[in-house]
Structure 1
Amino acid sequence: MRTILSASAVVMLALAVPAAAQGQGHYAAVPATAAVGKKLVTRDTIWRCGDGGCSAPKSATRPAILCELLVREVGALESFSVAGTAFDPDALTKCNARAE
């Protein structure tokens, strides 16, 4: 049996889905110094920074490169994660080496 949703039902469903599930916050970072209220663009990725750190939707750029681009803008990071999985300490150290 097939179910057909009306346009209004589709809109309501889309609004009910959390932002993270819609591609927001695939990447998360916590800068060592606050970057609250910043909106940054690194290549093709838009970062939004608030009280809890910075987040960005999924990108075609490799995570290690995204991390390096972000530290150039906000400085060293305390943490960086991709889809909820944190960078290991060695990867984070390598990323933070790019901070200017």
Structure 2
Amino acid sequence: MLTAVVALLLAAPQAPYYAAEPAAAPAKSQLVAGELLWRCAGDGCFAGKSDGRPVVDCQAFVRTVGRVKSFAVAGAPLPADQLEKCNARAR
């Protein structure tokens, strides 16, 4: 019984660590930016945690997708100065 519970927990998808709201809808529902796999639906994109700093992961994302309206890390919005720094790297 315990083995089955552990297997279910390991198979469950992880909650997204990053959430981004691109200024324009991305062309693809899945994309790779930096070392992260992003999944996009509606007006938001989501990715798991990486070993990088959040602003660096944001910059990789905007180089692929373009400017973002918002970027959140573990549910907390990226500070305005870091969001500005991130968007400065947009394609």
Structure-1-length-normalised TM-score: 0.78
Q: What is the DSSP-based 3-state SS (H/G/I as helix, E as strand, rest coil) of the residue aligned with 1:9?
A: helix
Alignment gaps of 5+ in structure 2: none
Alignment gaps of 5+ in structure 1: none
Q: Greater relative contact order (Cα 8 A, min sep 6): structure 1 or 2?
A: 2
**Equivalent of residue 35 in structure 1, options 23, 26, 44:** 26
Are 2:36 and 2:47, in contact at CA under 8 Å, matched by a contact in 1?
yes
Compute the displacement of 1:93 (Å). 1.0
Percent identity over paired residues = 43
Structure-2-length-normalised TM-score: 0.85
Change in CA separation of 1:11 and 1:52 when aligned onto 2, cut-off 3 Å: farther
Match of 1:63 in 2: 54
Match of 2:2 in 1: 6
Q: 1:12-23 counterparts in 2 under 5 A?
A: 12=8, 14=9, 19=13, 22=14
Please give the alpha-carbon distance, in whole angstroms, between the structure 2 residues aligned to 1:48 and 1:91: 22
Q: What is the DSSP-based 3-state SS (H/G/I as helix, E as strand, rest coil) of the residue aligned with 2:51?
A: coil
